[in-house]
Each structure stands twice: as structure tokens, then as C-alpha cells.
């Protein structure tokens, strides 16, 4: 398990590479029908790939230089580890750039024109969402991300002790470890 948590960045980068090729193959049919949209698809895919792999590379540098021990270090930004702070700062910058692009630079309309970059899958065929749906879903996702990051900064997350241990000031563990085992058996 230690290897997985220490080298999770390999998985993150790998998933982004696979995601890039899956989206590229999914949109190829639409590019063949509308070659004038190829440059737009290329820009969108390039942005997804570059902006999506940078967090993995930040984590890789932190791990390979020994500045972070595992992926779990990134859940504790209050330690003020430089690589953890860089990752959190990067996420905030991406949020700002995404808000600017989707709401003020017609990014939602661009995604609608470039079918199958974003697709909603239900029980039938996948459909491209409308501009309004993209804006609403993005706002909800952003809100969830902000709540999550706020919890990382201001709450004890993930909790280092159980709720029961905090409620009883460690008495449960004390009795478990110090009570004779013969008395626990019935």
C-alpha cells in the first residue's frame, strides 16, 4: 500500500493520458465530418492534456525529491509543505481560468460546438449538453471543489483520531489495551 500512495502520481498521469486518447478517438468521427473544427478540437484536447497532467507532475517532483511521503500529504495543506501549497495554488488558478473561459470567453458554447468532448451518458446514446447545462454543472462542481478544499484547510481532514476516541479522550483505547485479555473473553 505504501508504494501505491507514494507513487499515485504515476496513476494520475496515466489516467490523463488514457483519457486524452479516449476523447480523441471519440471525437474523430466528428472531425472527419467537419474538418473546419479540427483546430478547435486540437486546442481543447491539448488544454485537457496539459492542464490535467500538471498536478501529477507536481506530485511526482514532490515524491521524487523526497519532499512528500505520499499522496496523503496533499490532504494536509496546513503543514505548509511547498509542493502541497504549489498543488493547491495550481488548482485555484485552474478554477479561475476555467471560470473565465466558460462564463466570459464563451467556453461553454465552444464545448457545445465541439461535440463529444463532453458527453452525458444515460441509458441511451450519449448527448452533448447545452451551454446552460455546462455552466450549471461546472458551477456545482466548482462549489464542491471549493467546499472540499476549505475542509482540507480548516478541518482536521482526514481525521487523525476516531470520533469515539475524541469523545472519550482516549479512554476506549486505554481500556482496550490495558484491560486484562482474560476478562474480555466470555
pLDDT at 162: 45
pLDDT tens per residue, range 15-25: 999 999 999 99
CA geometry: angle at 182 spanning 176 and 186, to 5°? 95
- Residues 108-132 have a mean pLDDT of 83
pLDDT at 141: 96
- Residues 144-171 have a mean pLDDT of 69
Between CA 36 and CA 30 the distance in angstroms is 10
Percent of the chain with pLDDT over 70: 82
Whether 129 has a pLDDT exceeding 80, the answer reads: yes
Between CA 136 and CA 19 the distance in angstroms is 23
pLDDT tens per residue, range 31-76: 999 999 999 999 999 999 999 999 999 999 999 999 998 898 898 8
pLDDT at 169: 52
Range from 4-8, 28-32, 39-43, 175-179 carrying the lowest mean pLDDT? 175-179
- Residues 151-165 have a mean pLDDT of 64
Between CA 40 and CA 19 the distance in angstroms is 18
Neighbours of 166 (CB within 10 A): 12
Mean pLDDT of the chain: 85
- Residue 161's pLDDT band, with cuts at 50, 70 and 90, is very low
Q: Does the reported pTM lie above 0.85? A: no
Whether 176 has a pLDDT exceeding 50, the answer reads: no
- Residues 97-112 have a mean pLDDT of 96
pLDDT at 164: 46
Q: 3-class secondary structure for the chain?
A: CHHHHHCHHHHHHHHHHHHHHHHHHHHHHHHHHCHHHHHHHHHHHHHHHHHHHHHHHHHHHHHHCCCCCCHHHHHCHHHCCHHHHHHHHHHHHHHHHHHHHHHHCCHHHHHHHCCCCCCECCCCCCECCCHHHHHHHHHHHHHHHHHHHHHHHHCCCCCCCCHHHHHCCCHHHHHHHHCCHHHHCC
pLDDT at 86: 97
Amino acid at each position: 500500500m505504501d508504494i501505491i500512495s507514494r507513487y499515485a502520481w504515476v496513476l494520475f498521469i496515466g489516467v490523463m493520458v488514457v483519457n486524452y486518447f479516449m476523447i480523441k478517438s471519440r471525437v474523430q468521427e466528428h472531425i472527419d465530418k467537419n474538418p473546419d473544427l479540427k483546430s478547435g478540437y486540437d486546442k481543447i484536447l491539448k488544454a485537457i492534456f496539459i492542464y490535467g497532467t500538471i498536478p501529477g507532475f507536481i506530485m511526482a517532483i514532490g515524491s521524487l525529491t523526497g519532499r512528500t511521503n505520499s499522496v496523503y500529504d496533499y490532504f494536509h495543506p496546513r503543514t505548509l509543505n511547498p509542493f502541497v501549497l504549489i498543488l493547491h495554488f495550481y488548482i485555484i488558478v485552474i478554477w479561475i481560468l476555467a471560470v473565465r473561459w466558460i462564463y466570459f470567453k464563451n467556453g461553454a458554447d465552444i464545448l457545445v460546438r465541439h461535440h463529444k468532448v463532453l458527453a452525458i451518458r444515460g441509458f441511451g446514446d450519449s448527448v452533448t449538453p447545452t451551454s446552460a447545462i455546462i455552466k450549471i454543472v461546472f458551477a456545482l462542481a466548482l462549489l464542491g471543489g471549493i467546499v472540499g478544499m476549505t475542509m482540507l484547510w480548516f478541518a482536521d481532514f482526514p481525521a487523525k483520531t476516531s470520533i469515539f476516541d475524541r469523545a472519550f479522550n482516549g479512554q476506549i483505547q486505554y481500556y482496550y489495551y490495558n484491560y486484562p485479555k482474560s476478562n474480555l473473553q466470555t
